[in-house]
Chain A
């Protein structure tokens, strides 16, 4: 896994912040990253092939509109793929060209940006209040509530501002792949993502200078028994993991101009100063072997059926796994549930790979399945090692920020109280400024005793 991913919010600090919406529209709403092998459901929503297959395995419903759908109706969305490829091919160039340089942001750029943010965050108070200025006092409260309620509930659509990540893809990666020799799957996810192949190299050269991230020396490509870094998820040798994770934690970036702008726009809440996790710049080794894209004919022939758990015999599940070169009963005899889950995941990986522009070989796919299972088992020990360090560092910053937010809220309450008191001049008792007489009653977390006391 590589966390050095582009992010739609990168555009907020450019002269065309609206590109954020475009980039968001080119992202899968499930993984919040750029589409990988985009496919459309029968209700017309587009997702990564693997993402939607996993969703449908779980619920048989489109995650966006909840329409019942079936894997067999998924269709490749080539238009989205083409737009995405064109976009990612020029992303860095556009970002470099449009980014507003380090100097303090001129007020002119601040406004449109804040404005835009409000519109996109349809449910923020800023936005509500803007609208409400036109409403009558009587309607005010009602209107606000209604809007707040609608916002989080709405789903899908490009305006939903999903966030996302991932390396860019481009058709031109094709030529580069062949020249790369590394054969290690270092993406700790089992997702096949052809987009990941060379884009690290693109971003490495400083697609986001504003973040001021240090360039790092590529590390030795991992080979076996790797454990994922708890911070960035990158695979490391067990011996390296602690020092790597420490560097990951240490590499804190400075706030981006967009953050400053956002902070300036926020009136009642203090800006959050939490040190962000580092998104390091270590180039990722190239992915594995690839093959030519499958033709429609091949796809139809090779597509695997999901099958039915109760109707499939345990022995058949084992047989199907073995036939594909997938290990079974790795740690003693595994339950039917365990091997069924593996077969389902294999089916998803396999079918999604058929939709890919740059399909992996079967061998590579099998390796990916196994690597992903290994991570899940090995994650814990690797994490424990940096526990002390991480807790101390993280806890300190986190605490401060958390307490600051509460302190700010307290200030606002006191301020409001004072204003209310001076306004009413003790004339009538404002309930909001009543002394907290009942504090003693409230001693459980929302416990019913509160009521009876």
Chain B
């Protein structure tokens, strides 16, 4: 952990906020106390979507100059989603600084900025689960299936969701 003190301080603060003022459906905290730069997260599948009932695990990795630079988010469970790369990495505009967004049509306000936070990132991911952006092809096959064979997509997603809770 080669964290700058100010990065560490902000992460401590965010963590404290998360435990003191919980947001339903999201959970995040450092994997171990000696490394604040990697956090483990759980994101509840949004209701009324095929993800419902699942608890999707992911890791958030921060850089030395957080919050100037965004963290990266990578699912560590099986997940099928148009905006999630096959290796689990999430591609969503809030994780890209302005000018570094693969989906250029998205508003700048949806991009990363130092005022964003772990909580906002995870809430955005929840929205992303509920409403995939099938024009951004992090997972081209998933995008295609989402567009052309919704039933099959949802069936697979439901199975992923069940698997996350050991069913």
Report A's interface with B, CB cutoff 8 A: 1, 3, 5, 7, 9, 12, 29-33, 51, 54-55, 58-59, 61, 63-66, 117, 121, 123-126, 140-141, 144-145, 148-149, 151-156, 160-165, 187-191, 228, 230-233, 249, 256, 258-259, 262-263, 266, 268-269, 271-272, 274, 276-277, 279, 372, 375-376, 379-380, 383-384, 386-387, 390-391, 393-395, 398, 402, 405-407, 409-410, 412-414, 416, 431-432, 434, 436-439, 441-448, 450-452
Contacts and interface: CB of A to CB of B under 8 A. Distances in A.
Interface in B68-115: 68, 75-81, 84-88, 94, 97-98, 107-111, 113-115
A445 B75 contact: yes
Contacts of A276: 16, 19-20
B80 to A, nearest CB: 5
B120 A152 contact: yes
B4 interface: yes
A368 to B, nearest CB: 11
B16 A66 contact: no
A436 B68 contact: no
7 contacts: A9-B20, A29-B115, A58-B68, A410-B166, A439-B159, A442-B78, A446-B75
Contacts of A390: 32-34
Contact of B20 (A7, A145, A407, A436): A7
Interface residues of B, number: 97
Interface string B128-167: 0011000000011110010000000011101111111111
Interface in B114-134: 114-117, 119-121, 123-124, 126-127, 130-131
A65 B145 CA distance: 36
Nearest to B126: A148
Contact of A383 (B21, B30, B35): B35
Nearest to A157: B115
Interface centre among A375, A394, A445, by most B CB within 10 Å?
Answer: A445
Query: Top 8 A-B pairs ranked by shortest CB distance?
Result: A163-B17, A188-B5, A152-B123, A410-B165, A413-B53, A29-B115, A9-B20, A152-B124
